[in-house]
Amino acid sequence: MNPLLRIFEKLSRYRRHKFAGPALLITGLSLAGIGFSVAQAATTEIQQITTSDKASLIAEGKEIFARGCSSCHGLNAEGAGAAPSLIGVGAASVDFQVATGRMPMADMSQQAMRKEPVYNEAQVAALAAYVASLAPGPAAVTNEELAWERSGDTALGGELFRTNCAMCHNLAGQGGALTQGKYAPTVMGVEPRHIYEVMVTGPQAMPVFANTVLTHDEKLSIIKWIKHAENEPALGGAALGRVGPVTEGLLAWTLGLGLLIGIAVWLTTKAR
Amino acid sequence: MTARERLAGGTANFIDERTGAAKWMKKTLTKVFPDHWSFMLGEIVMYSFVILLLSGTFLTFWFDPSMKEVEYEGSYEPLSGVKMSAAYASTLNISFDVRGGLLMRQVHHWAALIFMAAMVIHMMRVFFTGAFRKPRELNWIIGVALLTLGIVEGFLGYSLPDDLLSGTGIRIAEAILQAIPVVGSYLSYFLFGGAFPGEVFVQRIYAAHILLIPGIMLALITVHLMLVWYQKHTQYPGPGKTEKNVVGYPLMPVYMAKAGGFFFIVFGVTAFLGAVASINPIWIYGPYNPGQVGAGSQPDWYMGWLDGLVRLAPPIETHAFGHTISWNILIPGLIVPGIIFTLLAFYPFIEQWMTGDKREHHILDRPRNNPNRTAIGAMSLTFTLVALINGGNDLIATHFDLSINQIMWFSRIGIIALPPLAFVITKRICLSLQRADRELVLHGRETGRLVMLPHGEFIEVHEPLSPEKAYLLSHHEQNPPLALNSEDAQGVANPQGLKGRVRSRFSRAAQEQVAKPTPKEVLELEEGHY
Amino acid sequence: MSNENSGAVEKLSDPGLPEHVQRKTDVDPRAAKKAERQVSILFALSAVGTILFIYSYIWIPEDTFIFLPITGTTNAHQLFLGLGLAMALFFIGMGAVHWAKTLMPDHEVVDYRKEQRSKDEDRAALVATVKEGAANAGLGRRPLIKRTLGVALGLVGLSPLLLLRDLGPLPGDELTKTNWKQGTRLVTDPGDRPIRPSDLEVGGVAQVQPAFPAGKVRHLDDIAKDSVLLVRLRPEEFNLDTERLSWTHEGIIAFSKICSHMGCAVALYEQTTKHLLCPCHQSTFDVTRAAKVIFGPSARPLPQLPITVDSEGYLVAQAPFNEAVGPSFWERDS
């Protein structure tokens, strides 16, 4: 007999099993999900950038822009509605916003969230070149050219962070609340070039920290401190989110008191 | 006689010949303590206090309470060369250059958090079971005093390292002080030795934190325990327990072993927390600088409700005759907490006034049997909880994707609307539970078994309660509310009229109960029912 | 719904203390031996804990790290020191409690209470003693002694109060003054670099302190009053009266960074909404309207520092603040 038919015959013995329904549902959902992801991956095969010379880079960038950004930012990047004008924002803005996945924006909520980037590095470079060509603006930087490990001073970086950044991003860089549901995101897990670019460009609610106010070397020190804080192990034990007394108090009540009251109950129960 | 007996006998003789302690010792070693887990909550507080004293003493051997500016030269690299106070530098030293220093710092701080949490839970137990009634009102007041002192002590304690987070808290405390009318700016200048932050406040709060307040607390704790000892501990109702006895285990050996063992357990759990959970990582916060601040700055949890109250206060300030009164600071920071703690301290007397009950009580109430008190307790807890949650509104906003503005409005309205709601709901729940108890006594436990009677009727078999359980569910007192004669026999109006009418109104609310089953009703049922 | 006929008479009868139930260790000697073994193991575990503690203290270097689930990478010296201590303490307790629960007698004992109130004879005796003692002291018969004693005791209490006078200087008008004067340069914090208007971009901020003359050291006391936040907007975005507008320069506006509510540093500037948020109690200030309070508990706007440029093109203060900075106080008149 056909081996496939044999398998079906074996399986059909379980068709009235109490788990048959749920199992079928889960199988169906999994197949649908896998199928969808495969199909999506196949269709989002955006064409790869092949050239790197400036003029064609700008042209590629213009094409990507037209397809993926112009619906909100206008055909000539002049801005429309909630989407601001991109003329003069510079390659730095594009590199930060697009390479961290903030743009294209997932939903039109309070602010752009960091997420998986839609475009790869070459595409980001093309977009950046295009936007930079519209008007002069801050240039993008690469991780390699930022010599933060050599030129940065961790202690000074901490001082600068606490004076300029901690009031929004929290003393340990975990992020903080702004008004009306906006928030300053965590600074942990961000590439050094993006930290640099974000200070220079001041995206959305974040103010601009120009190199004339916070010098280039001071920025390198801040990056060095952030990277140190990111890699610092929890010196006293579980870090509890590094947000301070709130989680500490919660742990004291739940684990501390919980354990102690549980033991007190055991203590006063008669032995069998 | 064995060698051990000879030694013990010799020692006892030595002491007795000088103090006459034999009779007292015998009485003490056979003293009876009732055994219930909820009676151990006060023990958690007491043992945490001892842990605080021990770990705190360790810390004083290295801590430098000076605010002199120094450049950090210790082993924590990211702060190398940074200017900071000697207090902060010595705390870094304890954390990184003293073996066991960070452990002791963490044990000390975790012990403080558990100390306060256990105090609150212990207070709740005493409140909801009515253990504060005569003759224990004084002990209750001492407890409230200890709670207040504990809050201040903890605040001063975590402000000693002079880091950015606690320094922000000190700035806020200074603002409350400064806002006091007439004397505010003088008090602030006297406490800080001049302008804020000055160079002396750490050493001054150090003296308060290691000497003054622990000394007062130790004295109050001693009186607190002596009263419990002398008045004998209360006990839960049950068969064999009366207002005139205490049922439990003797101090030696059972209670000594259990209570003594529990001390080690509390210490062990606190040390465990100190080993595995980071607390107050001041090296991340940095030294205090009044021009800096961090997002999501909160005080320790036992001050969080104060922070929450201050946050939700409306922005009211009055300016008159060249003077300013900041109601937006004074009301949430001083006046409301003052009223709350005063009401808390005098609650035993308030309840006495409402019920007119001036007798001694040694049997505890089941919370459901005093719906009014339980509801008042639930109402106060709701108020505190709303304030506490609002104290963390910015963290809640970041972690749950909410808006601080919305949370603030929720708290502003909630703190007025939710407590009365909690009162009504709790009272109704208590009355329902009383009704359920009554049904249980009168009709027995529903077993879920159906039986068909010969004439065709289906009934559910109810198992009658054991006499012990029936006694437990019906032993409580139910007193009539106070009645006020508004006029006497001759028609003369009562001069105490208004006060008496208010009192009898409260009394009616306080005595609202579901009638408990009487023996007569039980007998009637047993004759003709299942 | 109260019951009129309740009282002691109407209670269901008290069946008395329940029967004592034997534990397994009471009847079975093998179970008792097992419990004894368990208690001994617990005490032995405590000893192991102490050994771990000693080992960690002496032989685990302070800079070793270990990765554990939940806690992440943590300091091994600290961790095992703490775990050793915790074990050492915890298991003594567990052993003692288990010993009490399983092997010590668990018969409930009954003790009796006396009424707290003393017997009437004792109370009468006390009253008589006090009355006699008071009569012997003779205060009633010697009013001059009573009055002068009162005066002496009252006065002696004043001395310690007076001793506290030197706790601190009188505030005077210090709370209304800062180091900002006409012509004081604005310098970056940290760094002490003077600032030109062109240094600040639109949408940018700068943390600023007043320039100190050479030799004068800046203390935290000064920072607590002098800290200023510089914000640059487009001039047309301001919504100010003429006077306040004259305190700005080319769209740059300066505010005291010390919150007018309770003194935290306010520097959380939202570029999009032009709002300043204080992280302590969420007071929100509108920069375009001279830091007017639009949300939160603060009752006053942030004081604005009037600024202009000096002959070399650096930003300077036009004048000191026109009001006291920081939290309110009784003597503040605006």
Contact C248, C298 (CB under 8 A): no
**SS3 sequence of B304-332:** HHHHHHHHHCCCCCEEECCEEECHHHHHH
Q: What's the number of CA atoms in the CB half-sphere (13 Å) around residue C242?
A: 0
Count other Cβ atoms within 10 Å, centred on residue C156. Answer: 9
Residue C173 forms contact with B (CB below 8 Å): no
Is C190–A160 a contact, with Cβ atoms under 8 angstroms apart?
A: yes
Nearest to A244 among B39, B102, B296 (CB): B296
- Strand B458-463 and strand B32-33: pairing? unpaired
Cα(B24)–Cα(B26) distance, integer angstroms: 5
Are A267 and C97 inside 8 Å of each other by CB? yes
Q: Tell me the residue ranges of DSSP E strands in chain A.
A: 176-177, 183-184
Q: Does B278 touch chain A (CB under 8 A)?
A: yes
Q: What share of chain C is helix, strand, coil (3-state, %, to 5)?
A: 40, 15, 45
Residue tagged 């139910």 (tokens): B478
Q: Which chain A residue is nearest to residue B33, measuring alpha carbons? A: A268
Task: List residues bridging with C265 in a β-sheet.
Answer: C258
- B107, closest residue in chain A (CA to CA): A236
Q: Which of A179, A209, A233 sits opposite C74 (nearest CB)?
A: A233
CA–CA gap between residue B206 and residue A118 (Å, rounded): 56
pLDDT for A41: 63
Give the tens place of pLDDT for each residue, A131-174: 888 888 888 888 888 888 888 899 999 999 999 999 999 999 99
Q: Does A154 contact B77 at a Cβ distance shorter than 8 Å?
A: yes
How close does chain C come to B452, measured CA to CA in Å?
32
Q: Is A142 left (phi over 0), alpha (psi -120 to 50) or beta?
A: beta
User: CB-CB: which of A178, A204, A235 is closest to C75?
Assistant: A235
Per-residue confidence (pLDDT) for residue B526, from 0 to 100: 64
Query: Looking at the predicted structure, is the pLDDT value of residue C64 above 60?
Result: yes
Would you state the pLDDT for residue A50? 54
Contacts 24+ apart (CB under 8 A), B465-470: B465/B440, B465/B441, B467/B239, B467/C12, B467/C13, B467/C15, B468/B238, B468/B239, B468/C15, B468/C18, B469/B440, B470/B441, B470/B522, B470/C12
Nearest to B278 among A163, A236, A246 (CB): A236
Both tokens assigned to B111: 């012990």
Local structure of residue C71 (DSSP, 8 states): T
Q: What does the pLDDT read at residue C6?
A: 40
Domain borders along chain C are 24-102, 175-317
Is there a contact between B203 and B63 (Cβ–Cβ < 8 Å)?
A: no
Residue of chain C nearest A263, judged by CA positions: C94
* Interface residue of C281, C282, C283, C334 to substitute, partner B, most B CBs within 10 Å: C281
The region that residue C16 occupies, defined by phi over 0 for left and psi between -120 and 50 for alpha, beta otherwise, is left
Q: A166, B117: Cβ pair inside 8 Å? A: no
pLDDT at A108: 73
| C276 confidence band (pLDDT: 50, 70, 90) | very high
Of C65, C101, C265, the CB nearest to A233: C65
Query: Using a CB-CB distance cutoff of 8 angstroms, which residues of chain C are in contact with residue B169?
Result: none
Task: State how far the Cα of C105 lies from the Cα of B158, in Å rounded to an integer.
Answer: 45
- Is B295's CB within 8 Å of A168's CB? yes
A154 neighbourhood in chain B, CB within 8 Å = 77-78, 80
CB proximity A246 to B under 8 Å: yes
B172-192 burial string, b = 16+ CB within 10 Å, else e? bbbbbbbbbeeebbbbbbbbb
Å between B4 CA and nearest CA of chain A: 31
CB contact under 8 A, B298 and A246: yes
Is residue A234 left, alpha or beta, with left meaning phi > 0 and alpha meaning psi from -120 to 50? beta
Out of A47-51, B210-214, C27-31, C110-114, the most confident range is B210-214
Q: Is the pLDDT of residue C324 over 60?
A: yes
**Does residue C111 carry a pLDDT above 80?**
yes
Identify the sign of the CA torsion B95, B98, B99, B104. negative
Q: How many CB pairs under 8 A join A and B?
A: 201
The answer to whether the complex's ipTM is over 0.95 is no
User: Residue B511's pLDDT is what?
Assistant: 80
Of B179, B319, B360, the CB nearest to C327: B179
Contact assessment for residue C307 and residue C252, using Cβ atoms and an 8 Å cutoff: yes
Is the backbone peptide bond immediately before C190 cis, with ω within 30 degrees of 0? Answer: yes
Block residue for tokens 């004008």:
A85
**Confidence at C2, pLDDT banded by 50, 70, 90:** very low
User: Is residue B240 less than 8 Å (CB to CB) from chain C?
Assistant: yes
The predicted structure's pLDDT at residue A51? 54
Q: Which residues of C touch A180 (CB under 8 A)?
A: 273
Nearest by CB to A271, which of C23, C75, C270? C23
A6-36 in b/e burial notation, b at 16+ Cβ within 10 A? eeeeeeeeeeeeeeeeeeeeeeeeeeeeeee
Give chain A positions within 8 Å (CB) of B169.
none
Residue by residue, DSSP assigns C83-136 as: HHHHHHHHHHHHHHHHHHHHTS----EEEEPPPSSPPHHHHHHHHHHHHHHHHH
Residue with tokens 């600040």: C200
Per-residue pLDDT at A210 exceeds 80: yes
- Mean pLDDT taken over chain A: 87
Are the beta carbons of A245 and B304 separated by less than 8 Å? yes
B52 to chain A: which residues are within 8 Å by CB? none
pLDDT score of C167? 92
- Whether B278 and A183 lie within 8 Å, measured CB to CB: no
- Interhelix angle A258-268/B41-60, nearest 10 degrees: 130
Peptide bond into C105 cis (omega under 30): no
Q: What is the domain partition of chain B in residue ranges?
A: 31-294
> Which chains have 3+ CB pairs within 8 A of B?
A, C
| pLDDT over 60 at C45, yes or no | yes
Tell if the CB–CB gap between A182 and C265 is shorter than 8 Å. no
Spell out the CATH class of B31-294. Answer: mainly alpha
User: What is the C-alpha to C-alpha distance for residues C295 and C276, in angstroms, rounded to an integer?
Assistant: 10
pLDDT tens readout for residues C136-195: 888 778 888 889 999 999 999 888 888 899 999 999 889 999 999 999 999 998 889 999
Chain A residues with CB under 8 Å of B291 CB are: 163
| Pairwise CB contact (< 8 Å): B257 & C261 | no
Inter-chain contact A202–C275, Cβ cutoff 8 Å?
Answer: no
What is the full per-residue pLDDT of chain B (530 aa) written as tens digits? 788 899 988 998 999 999 988 888 888 888 898 989 999 999 999 999 999 999 999 999 999 999 999 999 999 989 999 999 999 999 999 999 999 999 999 999 999 999 999 999 999 999 999 999 999 999 999 999 999 999 999 999 999 999 999 999 999 999 999 999 999 999 999 999 999 999 999 999 999 999 999 999 999 999 999 999 999 999 999 888 989 999 998 888 888 899 999 999 999 999 999 999 999 999 999 999 999 999 989 999 999 999 999 999 999 999 988 899 999 999 999 999 999 999 999 999 999 988 888 889 999 999 999 999 999 999 999 999 999 999 999 999 999 989 999 999 999 999 999 999 999 999 999 999 999 998 888 888 888 889 999 999 998 888 888 888 888 888 888 887 877 766 677 777 777 777 777 887 888 888 888 888 877 777 766 665 54
CA distance B441 to B515: 12
Does the beta carbon of A46 lie under 8 angstroms from any beta carbon of chain B?
no
Pick from C73, C200, C231: CB nearest A233: C73
Tell me which chain C residue has its CA closest to the CA of residue B175.
Answer: C262
Beta-carbon contacts of residue B39 (< 8 Å; ≥ 6 apart): A268, B33, B233
Q: Which residue of A has its CA nearest to B39?
A: A264
Domain C175-317 of CATH type 2.102.10.10: yes
Which is more confident, C231 or B515? Answer: C231
Q: ∠ CA(B82), CA(B86), CA(B92), 5° rounding?
A: 70
A110-125 tens-digit pLDDT: 788 888 888 888 889 8
3-state SS of B211-261 is: HHHHHHHHHHHHHHHHHHHHHCCCECCCCCCCCCEEEEEEHHHHHHHHHHH
Q: Is C86 on the interface with B (CB under 8 A)?
A: yes
* Residue B292 forms contact with A (CB below 8 Å): yes
Mean predicted confidence (pLDDT) in A218-225: 94
List the helix and strand counts (H, then E) for chain C.
8, 14
pLDDT, residue C3, reads 37
User: Binning pLDDT at 50, 70 and 90, where does residue C8 land?
Assistant: very low
Return phi, psi of residue C43, to 5°: -65, -35
Is C19's Cβ below 8 Å from some Cβ in B? no
Contacts for B336 with CB less than 8 Å, ≥ 6 apart: B309
Distance from CA of C237 to the nearest CA of B (A): 24
A interface test, pick of C21, C74, C81, C294 with most A CB neighbours within 10 Å? C74
Q: Evaluate whether C315 touches C248 at the Cβ level (below 8 Å).
A: no
C258 touches chain B (CB under 8 A): yes
Distance (Å) from the alpha carbon of C69 to chain B's nearest alpha carbon: 11
Is residue C231 classed as helix, strand or coil in its secondary structure?
A: strand
Report the distance separating Cα C66 and Cα C72, nearest Å: 8
Q: How many CB pairs under 8 A join B and C?
A: 352
Provide the shortest C-alpha distance from residue B295 to chain A (in Å).
4
Smallest CA–CA distance, residue A164 to chain B, in Å, is: 8
Count CB neighbours of C316 within 10 A: 23
Instruction: List subunits contacting chain A, requiring 3 or more Cβ pairs under 8 Å.
Output: B, C
